[in-house]
Amino acid sequence: MKARVLSGIQPTGSPHIGNYLGALKNWAKIQYDYDSIYCIVDLHAITVYQKPEELRAKIEELAGMLLAIGIDPRNSALVVQSAIPQHAELAWMLTCVTPVGWLERMTQYKAKSQSQETIGDGLLQYPVLMAADILLYQAAIVPVGDDQTQHLELARDIAQRFNSLYGETFTMPATHLPTVGARIMGLDDPEKKMSKSETGAGHAVSLLDPPAAIRKKIMRATTDSNPAVDYETMGAGVRNLLAIFQAFSGWSDENTRAHFTGMRYGDLKKQVAEAVVAAIEPIQERYQKIMAEPGFVAQVLANGAERVTPIAQDTVGKVKRAMGLYTAS
């Protein structure tokens, strides 16, 4: 039997090249080596307010995008988190074995709670729900970007604590990071990670940006006061552009370094922009075709839910029995 892979992405904003290089590209790449489940995590999205009609539309759009980047529904289950009630059910049981102190230490919680007037309890519980997503399917591998490593350590801590309190129940999930592109920074501010919630026009390249917009954003990216690429002294902006190029082109460190050393920033940016456009254009064409087929995405999501439900029921049954909760059998 193949080991199981699970990962998730929130249906907020539009997916950008950071999501693609940090996670989605890997999802497509490794899907055939594993029993793969990819989850659109709408219950995570509502930890901050989302306009209902927008959220509803974004779920199917994101599913279409995941298919366009190459998630193969004949191979991988594509599911919406809120369609499988066991995610929330297991999250409660895991909440009860999770010390609040563990959650208050999470850097994403600290950052997100600073920007809110009132801090919803969901923001604190967020990583417990994420642990539930993973443990529900007994996933062995979780492909994510670098910003999720702390949440994954927490998921392992929760699994371990549950196993030691109630007996071996959960598989320990391993973090799977890409070698290049695990942390793509904002084009306008290379000290900040590229994020869907940043609204600045020059911040992120969305996977749906037209080629002209992609070129414009990359040509305007923040660099540093050097005139040309110098690996010894380059700042975070140039390093980020080189990482984007490398991740899209698949070039080695040595080839990239040899090719770009001494190149003026204008030329560097042109080449980065062309590498991004070349990779994204075919994805956009597939996306348009997928979204033009009425009912296709909904059918894929229904099939995904049907496929994963028995696994989810099985785990929740085990957890209930382990904890002494009421089950009919």
- Residues contributing to the site for ligand AMP (CB under 6 A): 9-10, 18-19, 21-23, 144-145, 147-148, 182-184, 193-194, 196
Going edge to edge, which strands form the sheet with 35-40?
Answer: 77-80, 35-40, 4-9, 141-143, 174-176
Which residue's CB is nearer to ligand AMP, number 162 or number 245? 245
* Burial classification of residue 82, based on how many CB atoms lie within 10 Å of its CB (0-12 exposed, 13-18 middle, 19 or more buried): middle
Which of 4, 16, 25, 44 is the binder for ligand TRP (CB under 6 A)? 44
List the interface residues with ligand TRP, window 234-263 (CB under 6 A): none
Compute how many residues bind ligand TRP; rule: CB under 6 A.
14
Tell me the closest approach of the beta carbon of residue 35 to ligand AMP, in angstroms: 19
Residue nearest to ligand TRP as judged by C-beta position: 8
Taking the C-alpha atoms of 313, 316, 317 and 322 in order, what is their torsion angle to the nearest 10 degrees?
Answer: 160
The yes or no reply on residue 156 touching ligand TRP (CB under 6 A) is: no
| Residue from 191, 194, 172 nearest 182 by CA | 194
Helix axes 86-95, 121-136, angle to 10 degrees: 110
Q: Could you tell which of ligand AMP, ligand TRP, none binds residue 130, using a CB distance below 5 to 8 A set by kind?
A: ligand TRP
| Catalytic one of 25, 58, 112, 269 | 112
Tell me the closest approach of the beta carbon of residue 6 to ligand TRP, in angstroms: 6
Main-chain phi, psi angles of 195, to 5 degrees: -140, 145
Tell me the closest approach of the beta carbon of residue 24 to ligand AMP, in angstroms: 7
Is 112 a residue of the active site? Answer: yes
Q: And the tokens for 62?
A: 């994101």
List the interface residues with ligand TRP, window 101-140 (CB under 6 A): 130, 133-134
Is 2 a residue of the active site? Answer: no
The yes or no reply on residue 83 touching ligand TRP (CB under 6 A) is: no
Q: Dihedral sign for Cα 248, 177, 93, 128, please.
A: negative
Q: Could you tell which of ligand TRP, ligand AMP, none binds residue 184, using a CB distance below 5 to 8 A set by kind?
A: ligand AMP
One-letter identity of residue 279: A
The yes or no reply on residue 8 touching ligand TRP (CB under 6 A) is: yes
Q: Could you tell which of ligand TRP, ligand AMP, none binds residue 187, using a CB distance below 5 to 8 A set by kind?
A: none
The helix (H) or strand (E) run that includes residue 296 is helix 296-323
Q: Could you tell which of ligand AMP, ligand TRP, none binds residue 6, using a CB distance below 5 to 8 A set by kind?
A: ligand TRP
Main-chain phi, psi angles of 123, to 5 degrees: -65, -40
Looking at residue 326, the DSSP 8-state letter turns out to be -
Is 193 a residue of the active site? Answer: yes
CA distance between the termini of the chain:
27
Catalytic annotation, residues? 112, 193, 196
Residues that bind ligand TRP (CB under 6 A): 6-10, 41, 44, 130, 133-134, 142, 144, 148, 151
